[in-house]
Amino acid sequence: MRSDAKKNRERILKVAVAELTLDPAVPLSAIAKKAGVGQGTFYRHFANREALVFEVYQFEMQQVASLAEQLLATKPPKEALREWMDCLVEYAMTKAGLATAIRQAASTYEFPGKSGYAPVQAAAELLLRANEKAGTIRSGVTHDDFFLATAGIWQIDSQSEWRPRLARLMDLVMDGLCAGSPESLKNNV
Average pLDDT of span 157-167:
80
Average pLDDT of span 110-122:
69
First to last CA, the chain: 60
Distance between CA atoms of residues 125 and 142, nearest Å: 7
Percent of the chain with pLDDT over 70: 87
Cβ-based neighbour number of residue 186 at 10 Å: 9
Rank 52-56, 139-143, 159-163 by mean pLDDT and report only the highest: 139-143
Asked if residues 31 and 52 have their Cβ atoms less than 8 Å apart, the reply is yes
Report CA 186 to chain centroid distance, whole Å: 34
Average pLDDT of span 72-101:
85
The larger pLDDT score, comparing residue 153 to residue 46, is at: 46
| pTM to 2 decimal places | 0.74
Q: Label residue 94 by pLDDT band (50, 70, 90).
A: low
The larger pLDDT score, comparing residue 125 to residue 89, is at: 125
The larger pLDDT score, comparing residue 166 to residue 127, is at: 127
- Is pLDDT at 120 greater than 70 in this prediction? yes
The larger pLDDT score, comparing residue 145 to residue 58, is at: 145
Q: Label residue 89 by pLDDT band (50, 70, 90).
A: confident
Name, in order, each residue with C-beta under 8 angstroms of 142's C-beta and a sequence gap of 6 or more.
125, 128
Average pLDDT of the chain, as a whole number: 86
What is residue 23's predicted lDDT score, i.e. its pLDDT? 84
